[in-house]
Amino acid sequence: MVPGPSRSRFGRGTDIGGNRRGLDCRRNADAIDFGQMKLLVIGGGGREHALVWKLAQSPRVSRLWCAPGNAGTQGEPLVRGGAAENVTIGAEDIGSLLGFAREHRPDLTVVGPDGALALGVVDAFQAEGFPIWGPRMNAARFESSKVFSQEFMRHHGIPTARSGVFTDPAAARLFAHQLGGRCVVKADGLALGKGVIMARDLSEAETAIQRMLVDRMFGDASREVVIQEWLEGTEISLHALCDGSHLQILPSSQDHKRVGDGDQGPNTGGMGTYSPTPFLSSGEWEMMAHAVLDPWLAGCHAEGIDFQGLIYPGVMLTANGPRVLEFNARWGDPETQVYLPRLENDLVEVFLACINGKLDQHPLRWSPLHTVCVVLASHGYPGAVERGKVIHGLADVELLPQVKVFHAGSARLDEEAVTSGGRVLGVTAWDTSLSAARDRAYAAVDRLCFEGMQFRRDIAAKGLAFVPTL
Ligand code: AMP
Ligand code: GLY
């Protein structure tokens, strides 16, 4: 069931708030005292700690809140004095976030996680005139609906996997059979990162189709599925900021999705990253990014989608060229942890340019340093984990040069940092070469421990092993 152009499902022209949003933001931006800005960051993972850390380095910021934050965001020092503060409001509690905004009037709110975007936090803040960075609900569909994204890619000529969209189990089984059984079955909606099943043969594909379309293992999120051919190649992360009209492409990075060394075990949210990657030269990277994102932006314009935020296609570099696996409508986690230490711009200025349609006037500047982030996770991750384990060694690692520990699933209990989730810390280091950055990150990891701590020992190994062909 793949609708043609005459039955577009993209809400052509439905983004009626798109133009008004820009005007509202400009009006509000005019009223900001740029030396005394109050910022609110929504989210509480490693990505949000990295955002808080980078925003705290802006001399414009006098107050910085993070809702709900973690043990690392609380107390992150501001360059102009004072420190970031956590607010005990969940990232998806839009009513309470709005209440906080009405009381404290942040000059800029920055949204980290996809869940809040899919629920329309940007629309809600905009409706009350609060400047906020991130895509509106209509634009966040690139992540919240895989069916939407897949059909968008087909309509707008974006290179992707051979694929189909199904509600009917028999048609889905037939397509899986046509792909030779080895395929990837994806629930349409957000499914806590568990909605993608890699089926090695037809029997696994049929089981996945049964569980998603018939048993509704993800409820309404698996009412429809996307089935893609299983692509072989090198997976990389592409990130670009977009102000609705202009793109700023970030350098390359690579995540490590599987839990175990050598890409073994189940998929996770990401066990570690590094930037840049050696697989493409910077010229080739730009060309690849434009091959994906130019038709994407043209498609947004054609469909009346005003995307202001960060678009993050997951890309497989295959023997036949790049193929987009999926779109995310937010910063990657843990990609953010390796990008922001390399970014030389004031991130507040970049976000303001983004919401005011002036991104073309703010070229991004990147340090030539290499960054590596190693995620330390709780025993059992990506399944159920125990919480409340004391984290040892943080004060020791704080003294190390060119290292930053970004917290994720951590909390403060009395004066101690304890684990509170699956991915606990992202240990990030930077240096003049990839191998030196990797060694620096692992030297810091060696000084940290908590009961049940697990991590991959091969972060950046693919980049280090890569030998360019002339
Ligand atoms: P997604 O959420 O769609 O990115 O899928 C999660 C992960 O599954 C990706 O990061 C890839 O590692 C893997 N994956 C998804 N689609 C494909 C595909 N068509 N071929 C190979 N691997 C895939
Ligand atoms: N790096 C994986 C993600 O952010 O989804």
Cβ atoms of 390 and 368 closer than 8 Å: no
* DSSP state letter for 359: G
> Using CA atoms, how far apart are residues 243 and 310, in angstroms rounded to an integer?
9
Structure tokens at 153: 């890619």
Q: Please report which residue ranges of 105-168 form alpha helices under DSSP H.
A: 114-118, 121-127, 137-144, 146-155
Q: Is 325 in the pocket of ligand 1 (CB under 6 A)?
A: yes
Cβ atoms of 218 and 310 closer than 8 Å: no
pLDDT at residue 469 above 80? Answer: no
Q: Is 93 in the pocket of ligand 2 (CB under 6 A)?
A: no
Predicted local confidence at residue 21, as pLDDT: 44
Distance 332 CA to ligand 2 centre (A): 4
> Using CA atoms, how far apart are residues 243 and 353, in angstroms rounded to an integer?
8
Q: What is the number of the ligand 2 atom nearest to the C-alpha of 334?
A: 1
Q: What's the burial of 337, exposed, middle or buried (CB within 10 Å: 0-12/13-18/19+)?
A: buried
- Give the model confidence (pLDDT) of 218-253 as tens digits: 999 999 999 999 999 999 999 999 999 999 999 999
SS3 106: coil
Q: Which of 190, 237, 406 to mutate to test the pocket of ligand 2 (most atoms within 8 A of CB)?
A: 237
Q: Is 294 in the pocket of ligand 1 (CB under 6 A)?
A: no
Q: Is 235 in the pocket of ligand 1 (CB under 6 A)?
A: yes
Cβ atoms of 336 and 47 closer than 8 Å: yes
Distance 20 CA to ligand 2 centre (A): 31
Predicted local confidence at residue 10, as pLDDT: 33
Q: Which ligand is nearest to the Cα of residue 326, counting in written order?
A: 1
Q: What is the number of the ligand 2 atom nearest to the C-alpha of 273?
A: 1
Q: Is 306 in the pocket of ligand 2 (CB under 6 A)?
A: no
pLDDT at residue 23 above 70? Answer: no
Q: Cβ atoms within 10 A of the Cβ of 329, count?
A: 24
Distance 403 CA to ligand 1 centre (A): 30
Section 419-431 average pLDDT: 98
> Using CA atoms, how far apart are residues 13 and 369, in angstroms rounded to an integer?
43
Q: Is 270 in the pocket of ligand 2 (CB under 6 A)?
A: yes
Going by C-alpha positions, the residue among 218, 171, 169, 220 that lies closest to residue 193 is 218
Q: Is 333 in the pocket of ligand 2 (CB under 6 A)?
A: yes
* Residue found under tokens 């990150």: 441
Q: Which ligand is nearest to the Cα of residue 263, counting in written order?
A: 1
Q: What is the number of the ligand 1 atom nearest to the C-alpha of 229?
A: 19
Q: Is 186 in the pocket of ligand 1 (CB under 6 A)?
A: yes
Distance 270 CA to ligand 2 centre (A): 6
Q: Give me the phi and psi of 6, to 5 degrees please.
A: -70, -15
> Using CA atoms, how far apart are residues 301 and 429, in angstroms rounded to an integer?
39
> Using CA atoms, how far apart are residues 59 and 374, in angstroms rounded to an integer?
29
Section 279-292 average pLDDT: 96
Q: Which ligand is nearest to the Cα of residue 315, counting in written order?
A: 1
pLDDT at residue 15 above 80? Answer: no
Q: What is the number of the ligand 1 atom nearest to the C-alpha of 255?
A: 10
pLDDT at residue 11 above 50? Answer: no
Which band of pLDDT confidence, cut at 50, 70 and 90, is reported for residue 194?
confident
Q: What is the number of the ligand 2 atom nearest to the C-alpha of 330?
A: 4
Q: Is 332 in the pocket of ligand 2 (CB under 6 A)?
A: yes
Predicted local confidence at residue 192, as pLDDT: 77
Structure tokens at 174: 């037939």
Q: Is 234 in the pocket of ligand 1 (CB under 6 A)?
A: no
Q: Is 76 in the pocket of ligand 2 (CB under 6 A)?
A: no
Give CA separation, 338 vs 250, 276, 333, in Å: 11, 9, 9
> Using CA atoms, how far apart are residues 23 and 388, in angstroms rounded to an integer?
46
Distance 143 CA to ligand 2 centre (A): 11
Section 61-85 average pLDDT: 97
Distance 163 CA to ligand 2 centre (A): 22
- H or E element: which one contains 237? strand 234-237
Distance 235 CA to ligand 2 centre (A): 12
Which band of pLDDT confidence, cut at 50, 70 and 90, is reported for residue 18?
very low
Predicted local confidence at residue 16, as pLDDT: 28
From the centroid of its chain, how far is CA 467? 29
pLDDT at residue 5 above 60? Answer: no
> Using CA atoms, how far apart are residues 276 and 428, in angstroms rounded to an integer?
14
Q: What is the mean pLDDT of the chain?
A: 93
- Of 44-48, 133-137, 411-415, where does mean pLDDT reach its minimum? 411-415
